[in-house]
Amino acid sequence: MLEMRGITKRFPGVVANEGVDFTVRSGRVHTLLGENGAGKSTLMKILFGLYRPDEGSVHLEGTEVEIRSPADAISRGIGMIHQHFMLVPTLTVAENVALGLGGAWGSSDLRPIRQRLVEVSERYGLEVDPDAFIWQLAVGERQRVEILKALFRNARILVLDEPTAVLTPPEVTDLFTTLRQLRDDGRGLVFISHKLHEVMEISDEITVLRDGRIVGNTVPESSSRESLAQMMVGRPVLFTRTVQHHDPGEDRLVVRDLVVQGDRGNLAVDKVSLSVRAGEILGVAGVSGNGQRELAEAIFGLRPVESGGIDIDGVPAGSLAPKAVRSKGMAYVPEERMRDGVIGEFTVAENLVLVDHGSPPYTRWGFLRFGAIKRQCTKLVQRYSVKTPMLETLTRSLSGGNIQKVVIAREFSCGAEVLVVSQPTRGIDVGAAEYVHEQLLGQRAAGAAILLISEDLDEVLQMSDRVAVIFRGQIMDQLPRSEATAMRVGRLMMGLKAE
């Protein structure tokens, strides 16, 4: 029903898509697989009218069409579930669905919409309260609203951009049930992901993109996780990392009954108690927005502590400024690396010394010593294999993976033995992610106490010695690795206690 032929899209300095052919058939789930930056999103943005292709054409039901805007795409029956939800948080579910449906000046009577909403959501198992405000909903419910929005606009082709990235395993199961139903209704589905087991489960066909080009077309029956990963990355990928078991040491970081407020004055962290021992990774799993960011910021002194205590090596360290926290031997890899991790307009070298720039050998008599800085940075760039043209390159021009390596190089090289690491591999390519994981395990082997906060459940399960699950600011449970199965942790992430 839809064919994209020879699509090429260039941005200054990069070719995002080159000669890409892509077909969507009615009643089929066609997966677009590729790393971050492989060109999946660009291709779909072209389909949805957000970008115009430089070359190539789009054909719908056999006729060539030009998709000028999202409105145009919608009217042609193309619906898109964006990775970052396109919902207005201060409006209700019904209002979000109604948005853009009526004429410009009509009075908006929401009753018919509410009624149809109930019908459609029952039919596809997309339960949601039409009168709830979006900000009140959990992430999984928000996604259902996104799907409902597309269905209300009679989407015949549905593009889902990394829909499972934010879901817990039980929610993924529900989503797949809905997707199969939509497929069986004769809709054409495009599923974008880099999670291989999900791709194997839901796809009818698979197209793999790498560096903007198609490197393979296949079906799940004739492929394996290993073969897909190799196509995606361009080299064999290690799946099972053997994490050496060793006995952890003393408690290094202890958090007792910590209470922290969120940005809206809400209770973001509710009496959280945790302890991380030397040579141990404690993973904190949870759906986005359940207090992880506030927890990390409070521990590192970036957010005031309402009550409770934080001890580093038995010494109270709650409510200290970040500089004082650092002097006690803690380092921090923030989740928003562009906002909190580096200064984009600074050079790689400047970012690498940003913590220690005020002390010798980088400074003498208040003047920066560029020779010493350059020597140290050259060493760091080599040791952490940061791919940068020069030390003087602006940090923001690097890829996400390399920016993360700059942050890791700075934070892991300052001699800290307590590490708070948030979302260390979000949005970076497989190679860089592997590298970050190796570095984390290296620090663990060297005896560091690591608090790993991640929304990527696979990452938490793979890396941690113990897993704590956070839900609405509370720790639901803490499990040793041997007992932490994806389903069990997934249920805890949704706030369901074990029976």
Q: Give the interface with other proteins as residue ranges (CB under 8 A).
A: 48, 50-51, 69-71, 74-75, 80, 82, 85-91, 95-96, 98-108, 149
Of 60 and 486, CB closest to other proteins: 60
Do 453 and 284 contact (CB within 8 A), yes or no?
A: yes
Least Å distance, CB 195 to other proteins, is 24
Instruction: For the CB of residue 334, give the shortest distance to other proteins in the complex, in Å.
Output: 22
Q: Which is nearer to other proteins, 6 or 102 (CB)?
A: 102
Tokens in use for 233? 């990355």
The distance of closest approach from Cβ of residue 96 to other proteins in the complex, given in angstroms and rounded to an integer, is 8
By C-beta, is 61 or 109 nearer to other proteins? 109
For 153, other C-beta atoms within 10 Å of its C-beta total 16
**Smallest separation (angstroms) from other proteins to the CB of 246:** 47
Minimum gap (Å) between residue 149 Cβ and other proteins: 7
* Positions of E strands within 122-193: 157-161, 188-193
In single-letter form, the type of residue at position 10 comes to: R
Minimum Å gap between C-beta 100 and other proteins is 4
Q: Which is nearer to other proteins, 80 or 282 (CB)?
A: 80
How many angstroms separate the CA atoms of 392 and 383, rounded? 18
Concatenated DSSP letters of 431-455? HHHHHHHHHHHHHHHTT-EEEEEES
Any idea what DSSP says for residue 232?
H
Q: Which is nearer to other proteins, 48 or 412 (CB)?
A: 48
Angle value at C-alpha 465, between 460 and 467, nearest 5 degrees? 50
Phi, psi of 63 (to 5 degrees): -110, 145
CB closer to other proteins out of 265 and 415: 265
d(CA 356, CA 113): 58
Nearer of residues 159 and 403 to other proteins, judged by Cβ: 159
- H or E element, residue 180: helix 169-184
For 103, residues 6+ apart whose C-beta sits below 8 A from its C-beta are none
| Nearer of residues 44 and 436 to other proteins, judged by Cβ | 44
Q: Is 336 left (phi over 0), alpha (psi -120 to 50) or beta?
A: beta
Q: Which residues contact 197 (CB under 8 A, 6 or more apart)?
A: 225
Tell the smallest beta-carbon distance from residue 30 to other proteins (Å): 21
Q: Which residues have CB under 8 Å from 48's CB, separation 6+?
A: 67, 70, 73, 78, 80, 159
Between residues 105 and 365, which has the closer beta carbon with respect to other proteins? 105
Q: How far is the CB of 80 from other proteins (least distance, A)?
A: 7
- In the bound complex, what is the minimum distance in angstroms from residue 91's beta carbon to other proteins? 6
- CB burial string 43-67: b at 16+ within 10 A, e below: bbbbbbbbbebeebebebeeeeeeb
